[in-house]
Structure 1
Amino acid sequence: MSVNALYTDLSGYYDLMCADIDYQAQSRCVHRLQQIFGNGGVRHLDLACGTGPHVRHFIDFGYQSGGLDINQPMLNRAAIRCPEAHFSLQDMCTFSLSEPVDLITCFLYSIHYSAGIDRLKACIASVHGALAAGGLFCFNAVDKDKIDNALSVSHAAEHEGSRFTFRSGWHYCGVGEKQSLRLSIEKACAAQTQVWHDEHPMVAVSFGELIGVLAPYFEVQVLEHDYGKVVAWNETSGNAIFACVKR
C-alpha cells in the first residue's frame, strides 16, 4: 500500500485518531465561557468541525448548532451524527453565513490550519463578520516560541481486528510563520504492520502576535488550557484557550 493511501480519506480514521479526546468536557467549558463572556445566545458554528462530535454536544446543550469543514467525507459523517445540524463545505478563512451566530468555536488547535499569517487574519475577519453583537469566538492555540520539537503524544485503539497507534507532535524550526503538525499512524494486523506519516502545514504565531491580530476585532481573554476550570493564562505555558468577545 502507498504511504499516502490512508490519507485519501482520513475521515474513516478521524474518530479513532481522536478517541482519547473528551469532547463533552471541551464543549461544556466553552458553553460556560459563552455564559460568562458572551451574549448568552444559542446560535453556534464550529469551524473545522470534522465529523461533528463537538456539534453533537452543543446540540445536546440546547444550541442551534452547525459546522463547516473543507473535507466533504468528514461532513458526510457529521451529518449522520447530527441530522439536526446544518453543515457547510467552506474554508474557515473565507467563509460567510446568511445569518449571524452568537458563538463560533474552533477546537483541537484547528485555528493553526490557517497555515499563514495572512490567512489567519482573513479567518479572524470572517469570524468577526459572522458573529452577532457581543458574540464569542473560542479556540485553543499553541505558542510557537514554546514548542518542544522532541515532544509528542500517542494513543492506541482497536478497530476491526487491527490495533492502531496514533502519534502527533508539533515542530517549529525557530523562525518564520510556518510550523507543522507531524502525524503517524501505525496499523498492526496479524503478521503485518503498516505505518503512514504525514506533516500538516500550520501557521506559527506567538501568543503576543496572536493577541495583536485579534485585538482590532475582539476583547481578548487568554485562559489556561484547562477545560475543567476557568483560570487566567499564567503567561508561561505554551497552550491556551482564547475567549474573544466581538467589539
Structure 2
Amino acid sequence: MTQASTALYSDLSGYYDLMCADINYQSQSDCVRRLHQLFGNEGKRHLDLACGTGPHVRFFLDSGFLSSGLDLNQPMLELAKLRCPEAEFSLQNMCEFSVDQPYDLITCFLYSIHYSGSLENLEACIERVHAALKPGGMFCFNAVAKNMINNDSFVAHSVEHAGSHFTFKSGWFYGGDGDKQALRLRIEKTTDKVTEEWNDNHPMVAVTFQELSALLEPYFDVTILEHDYDKLLPWDLASGNAIFACVKR
C-alpha cells in the first residue's frame, strides 16, 4: 500500500457515497416506515445509528419525520450535515450513546449493527436503544447470520468519478467459531490506466439469528422478515440475511 493510498483509505468519508452508489436508500427507508406504521407507535421522532453521510436521514426528513443521526466518524457527520442541514447529528458510539429525549423509531441500516464488534457490546447497544425509545417505539435493523455466511461470496459495483474508475468489492468472512467475523473490503481506483488497490478487513460481531433473538427478546417483541425491502415477508428460516422489527416492551 502506497503512502497516497494509506492517506486515502484512512478516511473513507469522501468515498462512502461512491462505495454505496448501488444502494436504494429510498426503498430501504420506505420499507422501514411501513414497518413502523404496522408495528410501531406511528410517532415521528427518528434516530439513525451509524448514519454515515446521512442518506437515510434525508429520506426520513423528506417524508415528514423529525430525523437525526449518530456516527463515530466526524468527517462523515460533516457530510451528513451538508446533506441534511435541518437534522441534528452527534459523534457517539452506538453501544454507549445517550439521548436527551426519547425516540419513536431507531434504525441501523446496512448491517451496521455488526459494528458492535462483540456480543457484549451488541447487548449494550440493544440496552441503549431500548432506553432511548418511547413506549411502543420500534428498533429496526438488518443482520447477517454467521452460520450462513459463504466466505467465497462477494458483491461488486463500479462507478466513474472525477476522471477515475472505481470498483468496490465487499464480502463477509467467518472463521467458523466464536463471535468475530469480518467485512472484507476492496477498492480499486484506475486513473490514466494506472490502478491502485486497497484491501481491508472490518472487524464485526458474528451472531446467529437465534442468538440475536435471545439478546433482543428481554426488551422487545421481535418480528423477523425476509431481507426484501420491496415486499414484507416473514423470514423463511433458511436465508442468511434478515430485517428485524423490534417493538419496545
Query: How far apart, CA to CA, are the structure 1 residues paired with 2:154 and 2:172?
Result: 7
Q: 2:8 maps to which residue?
A: 6
What are the within-5 Å matches in structure 2 for residues 72-151 of structure 1? Answer: 72-151=74-153
> Could you tell me how far 1:191 is from its partner in structure 2?
2.6
Which of the numbers 181, 184, 198 marks the counterpart of 1:182? 184
Instruction: State the Cα deviation string for residues 31-55 of structure 1 (Å, max 9, x = none).
Output: 0000000000000000000000000
Give, as a single letter, the amino acid of the residue that structure 1 aligns with 2:199. Answer: H
Query: How far apart, CA to CA, are the structure 1 residues paired with 2:171 and 2:72?
Result: 22
Q: 2:56 maps to which residue?
A: 54
Query: How far apart, CA to CA, are the structure 2 residues paired with 1:169 and 1:231?
Result: 25
Query: How far apart, CA to CA, are the structure 2 residues paired with 1:134 and 1:84?
Result: 26
Q: 1:157 maps to which residue?
A: 159
> Could you tell me how far 1:93 is from its partner in structure 2?
0.3
Q: TM-score, normalised by structure 1?
A: 0.99
Q: 2:207 maps to which residue?
A: 205
Which of the numbers 61, 66, 69 marks the counterpart of 2:68? 66
Would you say how many aligned residue pairs link Structure 1 and Structure 2?
A: 247
Task: For residue 10 of structure 2, give the secondary structure of its aligned residue in structure 1.
Answer: helix
Give, as a single letter, the amino acid of the residue that structure 2 aligns with 1:205. Answer: V
Instruction: State the Cα deviation string for residues 176-211 of structure 1 (Å, max 9, x = none).
Output: 000000000000011311000110000000000000
> Could you tell me how far 1:23 is from its partner in structure 2?
0.0
Query: How far apart, CA to CA, are the structure 2 residues paired with 1:210 and 1:114?
Result: 12
> Could you tell me how far 1:4 is from its partner in structure 2?
2.8
Q: 2:237 maps to which residue?
A: 235
> Could you tell me how far 1:9 is from its partner in structure 2?
1.2
Extract unaligned runs of 5+ from structure 2.
none
Instruction: Work out whether residues 16 and 157 of structure 1, in 8 Å CA contact, stay in contact via their aligned partners in 2.
Output: yes
Task: For residue 9 of structure 1, give the secondary structure of its aligned residue in structure 2.
Answer: coil
> Could you tell me how far 1:5 is from its partner in structure 2?
2.5
Q: 1:246 maps to which residue?
A: 248
Query: How far apart, CA to CA, are the structure 2 residues paired with 1:229 and 1:129?
Result: 30
Q: CA RMSD in A?
A: 0.6
> Could you tell me how far 1:97 is from its partner in structure 2?
0.2
Task: For residue 58 of structure 1, give the secondary structure of its aligned residue in structure 2.
Answer: helix
Instruction: Work out whether residues 6 and 196 of structure 1, in 8 Å CA contact, stay in contact via their aligned partners in 2.
Output: no
Q: TM-score, normalised by structure 2?
A: 0.98
Extract unaligned runs of 5+ from structure 1.
none
Task: For residue 98 of structure 2, give the secondary structure of its aligned residue in structure 1.
Answer: coil
Query: How far apart, CA to CA, are the structure 1 residues paired with 2:231 and 2:189?
Result: 36
> Could you tell me how far 1:229 is from its partner in structure 2?
1.2
Q: Percent identity?
A: 65
Query: How far apart, CA to CA, are the structure 1 residues paired with 2:166 and 2:91?
Result: 29
2:213 is equivalent to residue 218 of structure 1 = no
Which of the numbers 195, 204, 227 marks the counterpart of 1:193? 195
> Could you tell me how far 1:6 is from its partner in structure 2?
2.1
Which of the numbers 36, 55, 61 marks the counterpart of 1:34? 36
Task: For residue 229 of structure 2, give the secondary structure of its aligned residue in structure 1.
Answer: coil
